[in-house]
Structure 1
Amino acid sequence: MSQDGIELDTSLGYLLKEASSALRSAMEAVLRPLGMTITHYSCLELLAQRPGLSNSDLARGAFVTRQSMNVLLQALERDGFVSRPEQAPVGKALPTRLTPRGREHLAQATAAVRSVEVRMLSGLTADQQREALVVLRSMIRSLRDDER
């Protein structure tokens, strides 16, 4: 037992963090050859699912600062993966959309990321995978409810 009484190999919080770290490393490894980061991929995926999101919405969804997302969006726009209007149609937010090139880039990345997820879940039965989703959603909900 550790000094504070928690065994790390049985601490669910620690194991979740370790799983998250392993998942991130595996995703980075498959995205790197595509010239992408996880944040880059997350941004494109969010835009595919919800076209027109603002910089702030994308930053929240990708778990980065607005400043970091703005830098990424400028690079994605320069490289032809996204488009944004010159002026905001309403307020200050510039709605961002994927370009055809961005959709192609995303399709490659999605296949790569999906291969990581398949590998991660390969030791689980279909029932265990469904149960894992239920358990993880419950944990997230419980922690978010406590924040309010």
Structure 2
Amino acid sequence: MNMVSIEVTGLKELIKQVEQLATSRELEEADKKALKRCGDLAKTEVQKIMPKSQDVSKSGRKGSRTFKHAADNIPIKLKKVDGQLTVIVGWEKGSNDAYFYSKFVEFGSSKMPPSAPFKRTFIRERKEWDKIFEEEYNKLLEKLR
């Protein structure tokens, strides 16, 4: 839902080493692996705090109910945004699929305040994501030596 960029700043020296030794393709593969792991972690954490109705048969808009909770159907996709590889966890702001209402949980509406499970997850898990990038870059460095 929220587009948040992650800049790995505590790993500058490691990144410099990897960039000197690795090809751009090897570096992109390490980034993909790290972003996938970060996305999976974020999805798992958001699922824990995203609200769920007591009766899933009454969730969503009548006529387009899926009889599943949005929290159990959070999409993850890797794509390039402005030339940068990015992981998107959740629904993009313009999404209009069966779980469109999850935007209101994140951003709020005129009748309810935002609960922002994605933003809260981002704040809580940011250090863990740095560790994931460090692990993936160290794996690549070991492979290159």
Larger helix fraction of residues = 1
Q: Between Structure 1 and Structure 2, which shows a larger proportion of strand residues?
A: 2
TM-score interval, smaller chain:
0.3 to 0.5
TM-score by length of 2: 0.36
TM-score when normalising by structure 1: 0.35
Higher relative contact order (CA 8 A, sep 6+): 2
